[in-house]
Amino acid sequence: MNLHGKFRGCLALIFFVFVFAQVGCEAPSKPPEAPLVPVTVAEVQEYSGAEGVNYSASIVPYQQVPVAFKSAGYVTSILQLQGVDGRVRNLQQGDWVKKGMVLATVRQSDYRDALNQYKGQLEQAKAGAEKSSQDFARAQALYKANAMTQSDYDAAKAQYDSSQGTVVSAQAAVAQAKQSLADCEVRAPFDAQVLARNIELGALVGSGTTAFTIGETQTVKAVFGIPDTVLSAVTLGKKQAVQTETYPQSFMGQITAISPQADQKSRTFQIEVTLPNPQGFLKSGMVATLVLGQARLATPLMVVPISAIVSSGDGSKTFSVFLAEHDGEKDVARRRTVTPGAAFGNMVAVAKGVNVGDRVLVNGATLVNDGQVVRIIQ
């Protein structure tokens, strides 16, 4: 390589060394900081005011009856309805029925044959009664003409009376057979919802076998028991709110029944609250809660705003609050697991995890994570 080429190579080497030196001296640029989550806080307070006494109630239909077969036999039909998939199916629980609808039928041929047999016997009895009536009419004429003895007249009259009794007995048998044939059908006694079905096609059922259980559920009752010390808090006609864990809203009803005597075992008085249920939200067997009376808290409780309670989000029934703690000049959110208790207006009691005076996140509690820096606003 000549002197000119070496000189050019040295210049290129010096250039690259200079460039890399410049790059190495430059400090890496910092990513822009994310804005802090704005939150509001409230202090954990102590509550020692009045509280209502919670009671657990069971939701039951306004009226519920078992619909049973009176005539025994094999089940030959069950009311057919269209299901949600468009296919026709047997009547089942949850379906609505109208008063007088035929819900199921047992085999009618046996009862129809019996009815025909009794009808034949009735015709025979009528024929016999007609003959004995004619014989008795002749006997009366002969007896009046002194052409028949008293004993023969009495025998003709007895035959006539017996034939009339046979007709009455045969008529009763026909009426009973007709009723037994009609009882092969099980009908809905009122507009209701089917709560249970206990039969299948082809099953052999006896007299008295319950085919369905139906109930009136567009109006329901919340039934619960109270001790005598709370009887003064309930009066007939009083409005009463009822709550369930299923729905956030309360259901307003009216106290419609108060038992006049206590249960011998539990020593409680049964109370009924009648609730309108046009949309069918309240189901038979659901557990409801209600509050009666007012009593002073024996021990003060720590309470926080209801909006400060945060669920775990993983499906488990665990709850937390976020505390705003000072970390130097910053405020940091710290998660604390708590157990919610009774509610007092918009406040809820909590046990463990917090102390009176702690600052809990209210607005923005669902937007932060444990250890995240937050910005407290008024």
Residue 374 in contact with residue 324, Cβ under 8 Å?
yes
Structure tokens at 25: 């001296």
- Domains in the chain (CATH in brackets) are 37-49+299-376 (2.40.420.20), 53-58+215-296 (2.40.30.170), 71-107+184-212 (2.40.50.100), 109-182 (1.10.287)
**pLDDT, position 31:** 56
The DSSP result for 324-366, as a single string, is EEEETTEEEEEEEEEEEEEEETTEEEEESS--TT-EEE-TTGG
In the predicted structure, residue 302 carries a pLDDT above the cut 50:
yes
Q: Is the pTM of this model over 0.75?
A: no
Name the band, by pLDDT with cuts 50, 70 and 90, for residue 25: very low
Q: Which of 63-72, 73-82, 191-200, 347-356 has the lowest mean pLDDT?
A: 347-356
Q: What is the mean pLDDT of residues 165-193?
A: 93
The size of the chain, in residues, is 378
pLDDT tens profile 311-321:
876 666 788 99
DSSP 224-286: EEE-GGGGGG--TT-EEEEEESS-SS-EEEEEEEE-SS--TTT--EEEEEEEE-TT--SPTT-
Whether residue 108 is predicted with pLDDT greater than 70 in this model: the reply is yes
Residue 127's pLDDT band (cuts 50, 70, 90): very high
Q: Which residue has the tokens 């306004």?
A: 62
**54, 342 contact by CB (below 8 A):** yes
Cα-only R_g, the chain: 43
Averaged pLDDT for residues 170-199? 93
